[in-house]
Amino acid sequence: RTAYVNGRYVNHGEAGVHIEDRGYQFADGVYEVCEVRHGVIVDLTRHLDRLDRSLSEIRIKPPMVRAALIQVIREVLRRNRVRNGLFYLQVTRGAARRDHVFPAADTPATLVVTAKSTNPEIIAAKNANGIKAITLPDNRWERVDVKTVGLLPNVLARQQAKEAGAQEAVYIDRDGMVTEGAATNVWIVDKEGRLITRPAEPGILKGITRTTLMDVADKLGVPIVERRFSREEMLEAREVFITAATSICFPVVEIDGRTIANGHPGDVSARFRQAFFDIAE
Ligand code: PDD
C-alpha cells in the first residue's frame, strides 16, 4: 500500500510524520473520510467543502489548492488500486517545537492521504440484519461541527459499545435528546413514515451522507423533519438507522438492550440504502 505524506508517495508501512507534529501532540488537525464506489469518489465536492470549513474554523491554511488536492487523492487511489473502498485525508497544523499557541506562520501544514479497499457486499451482508447500539451522555466539546481528529470521547464511546456487544454508541445531550452516533448521524422514522433527524446546528457533525440522504428523500417524496428527538422517542420509533460515508443507512434494531419495533430492519432504511446504491451505479 502507498500513502501520501507531505509531497511524497511512500510505502504505507514506513510512512510517518514528525514526533512533534501538532496532530500527534495536540490533536490539532482535521480530517475527512470519503467513500469510493465503482471507481467513483462519492460526494467529493461536499467533502472538500466541509474540509475547507473545518480548516477555516480552526484557522489552518489549506495545504494546497483544491485541484492539486484532488490530483493527490486520485493518485493515492490509483496507486492502491481502489475501486471500492475509501480514502482518509488529514491536515494538521504541522510540526514545531511543542507550544500551545500556533507555530510560526510559515510552518507548513501536514497533509496525509491514505486509501484502502473494502468489499461493499461483505459490509452490506454484515449489517443486513441490523446493528445494536448503546446510548451514552454526550461528553464532547461544543464544536463537534468541526471534523477534528480529537476523537478521544468517540473512541471511548465506541469501545464501550463494543464491550456491550454493540456496534455504535448514540450520544444523548443534557436535555435527554439524541445528538448523533460516535461516528454516524442518527435518524428515526415516525408512525407517519416521516424521516426525523437533528438539525445540523452545533451539536452534531453535518454529515455528508446526511445531506445526500436528504436529496434522495426529496426524489423519493419522503418527508423529512429536522428537529430534535429524545432517547425515548428513538426507542419507540418505527425505525432507527445511522448514516456515515462508511455506513450508508445501517438499520439499528436494538438500543440499550431494547428491541426497536419488531427487531427487524425497516423498509424505509432499506429503500434508502438501495437508492444510494442505485445512485452510485
Ligand atoms: N465519521 N458524526 C460523526 C461524529 C462522524 O464522525 C461522522 C463520520 C458522521 C457522518 O458524516 P459523513 O456522512 O460525512 O461520513 C457523523 C467518519 C466516517 C469517521 O470518523 O470514520
Q: The domain containing residue 143 runs over which residues? A: 124-280
For residue 121, pLDDT beyond 90: no
Closest ligand 1 atom to residue 147 Cα is 6
Please report the pLDDT score of residue 278 as a whole number: 79
For residue 86, pLDDT beyond 60: yes
Residues 252 and 162 in one domain: yes
Which of 153, 170, 157, 155 minimizes the C-alpha distance to 256? 170
Residues 268 and 131 in one domain: yes
For residue 281, pLDDT beyond 60: no
Q: Which of 116, 126, 132, 147 is catalytic?
A: 147
How many Cα atoms are found within 13 Å in the side-chain-facing hemisphere of 96?
17
Interface predicted TM-score (ipTM): 0.99
Residues 189 and 231 in one domain: yes
Please report the pLDDT score of residue 280 as a whole number: 59
Please, are residues 110 and 17 in contact by the beta-carbon 8 Å criterion?
Answer: yes
For residue 17, pLDDT beyond 90: yes
206 classed as catalytic: no
Looking at the structure of the chain, the number of domains it has is 2
CATH code for position 135: 3.20.10.10
Residues 91 and 144 in one domain: no
User: Which residue's C-alpha comes closest to atom 2 of ligand 1?
Assistant: 184
> How far is Cα 161 from Cα 157, in angstroms, rounded to an integer?
6
Residues 133 and 272 in one domain: yes
Start-to-end CA distance of the chain, whole Å, equals: 26
pLDDT, tens only, 43-72: 999 999 999 999 999 999 999 999 999 999
Query: Quick check: CB of 209 below 6 Å from ligand 1?
Result: yes
For residue 113, pLDDT beyond 90: yes
Residues 113 and 231 in one domain: no
pLDDT, tens only, 194-253: 999 999 988 999 999 999 999 999 999 999 999 999 999 999 999 999 999 988 899 999
Of 118, 140, 160, the residue at which a domain comes to its end is 118
Residues 256 and 133 in one domain: yes
Mean pLDDT over 8-29 rounds to: 97
| Entry pTM | 0.96
